[in-house]
Amino acid sequence: GMKSCRSSYVSGPVVEKVVWERVAAFLQDPEHFMAEMQRRQDSHVGGKAEVQARLEALARKLAKVDVMDSEVVAMNVRGQINQTVLDRSLALNRAERVYLSEEIDRQQAVLATLEENQAAVETLVALRQQVAERLKSATPEDRRWLLQMLDSRITADENRFAVSLGVPPQ
């Protein structure tokens, strides 16, 4: 899904040097690193609160559907509605229940993903110091592994390189 590189030639060693210097500087600068990690954690916490609020709202709606089922059955028993109306009402409630249950499942999956991302950030914070201490003596294989682990993305234009890092899933 990435756009193709439009540059006709970029020196591999130059790119590797620039990318490695930026990644190393980011990992070695505790203030910059921790500010970014805090930003990510804050976005997870806010997102987590929103998802939890949605889950609570969905649970309330699901409870209302159960109450509506009881009310419709009671109305049928009292003779206020006929069997056709009862069947249609129960079918509508069943469809609403399925929709709400599926939406609850989706929101729980989102919540699990947010929690995994938060755990990944916490792991990165714990590992940052260990990684930072080893950056100067890193072999080319170590560098390649670290860049892959951080889901590094490099974009280049005629005059500059942009480096972005992702949070690993584990």
The per-residue pLDDT for range 145-165, each reduced to its tens digit, is 877 777 777 776 666 767 776
* The pLDDT value given to residue 65: 97
- For the chain, the average pLDDT equals 82
**Model confidence, pTM:** 0.57
CA distances from 140 to 16, 69, 127, 145 (A): 10, 66, 20, 9
Where does the pLDDT of residue 170 fall: very low under 50, low under 70, confident under 90, or very high at 90 and above? very low
Percent of the chain with pLDDT over 90: 35
Residue 125 pLDDT class (50, 70, 90 cuts)? confident
Span 113-136, mean pLDDT? Answer: 77
- Name the token pair of 81: 């509605």
As a whole number of angstroms, the distance between CA 96 and CA 88 comes to 12
User: Residue 169 pLDDT more than 70?
Assistant: no
Q: What is the mean pLDDT of residues 44-60?
A: 88
